[in-house]
Amino acid sequence: MPKGNILTVDDEEDILELVRYNLSKEGYSVTCVTSGEEALSIARSNLPDLLILDLMLPGVDGIDVCRILKNDQKTEAIPIIMLTAKGEESDIITGLEMGADDYITKPFSPRILLARVKAVLRRKRNEFQDKSRIIKIHDLLINPGRHEVSVKDRHIDFTRTEFRILQFLAQRPGWVFTRYQIVDDVQGEDYPVTERSVDVHIVALRKKLGSSGKYIETVHGVGYRFKE
């Protein structure tokens, strides 16, 4: 049995072969395609364990592929590693906020790619094991398995990132987390973190939670915590 089924999307055949060779050698089953349209079709029909995605693709580009998959309930849980030559901070932040789990710039080390693949799949397994644990705190009910949040029986819709930040804080009430720790847990490791990106999500969370937004407290000079 393969360790996992990985879909790789890149319009450069040599990159595809490099990825396929190194991951196959480690026991993964690798499917390679060269367009965003093919990636969407296969991801929807076969639900890979992981998607390695280039941004600069003909037709539907990588950002659109990521957005479409993350906005589809059937495919939103597929982890995505962006592997691209677009290495500006703005590109990385856009990719992560779109829902990517990791971001690797070209040229890349196959050993680093393999380590990131293992880390993302490990996080996915851990998240799956924790999905059944429903969080009840104050007047909030958070159901990770259903990706649902309700306040006093009122259902509230959150983006994927907003939901994960709320879940992260509510799982550890009273603990103070820096902005870096929040993004590190929600999105992965080794990213250029900006205070603005976290603060924007916190503002959106408080607004959607209404009066219950008061439970997310700002600890000046440090970060945020969920009130005990």
Q: Which domain holds residue 39?
A: 5-129
Give, to the nearest 10 degrees, the angle between helix 179-187 and helix 160-170: 120
What is the pTM assigned to this prediction? 0.60
Q: Is the pLDDT of residue 135 over 60?
A: yes
9 and 73 assigned to the same domain: yes
By percentage, how much of the chain surpasses pLDDT 70? 92
Q: Is the pLDDT of residue 144 over 70?
A: yes
DSSP H stretches of helix in the chain:
13-25, 36-46, 62-70, 89-97, 110-129, 160-170, 179-187, 195-209
Question: What tokens were used for 6?
Answer: 């990985």
For residue 69, report the phi and psi dihedrals to the nearest 5 degrees: -65, -40
pLDDT given for residue 89 in this prediction: 82
Kindly write down the DSSP assignment for every residue of 114-145, as one continuous string.
Answer: HHHHHHHHHHHHHHHHTTT--EEETTEEEETT
pLDDT given for residue 141 in this prediction: 93
206 and 166 assigned to the same domain: yes
154 and 192 assigned to the same domain: yes
Q: How many domains does the chain have?
A: 2
Q: For residue 160, which amino acid is it?
A: R
- Among candidate residues 81, 114, 129, the one where a domain is terminated: 129
168 and 96 assigned to the same domain: no
- Among candidate residues 105, 129, 153, the one where a domain is terminated: 129
52 and 103 assigned to the same domain: yes
181 and 71 assigned to the same domain: no
In whole angstroms, give the CA distance from residue 149 to residue 135. Answer: 10
68 and 139 assigned to the same domain: no
- Among candidate residues 129, 158, 175, the one where a domain is terminated: 129
> CATH no. for residue 120?
3.40.50.2300
> CATH no. for residue 210?
1.10.10.10
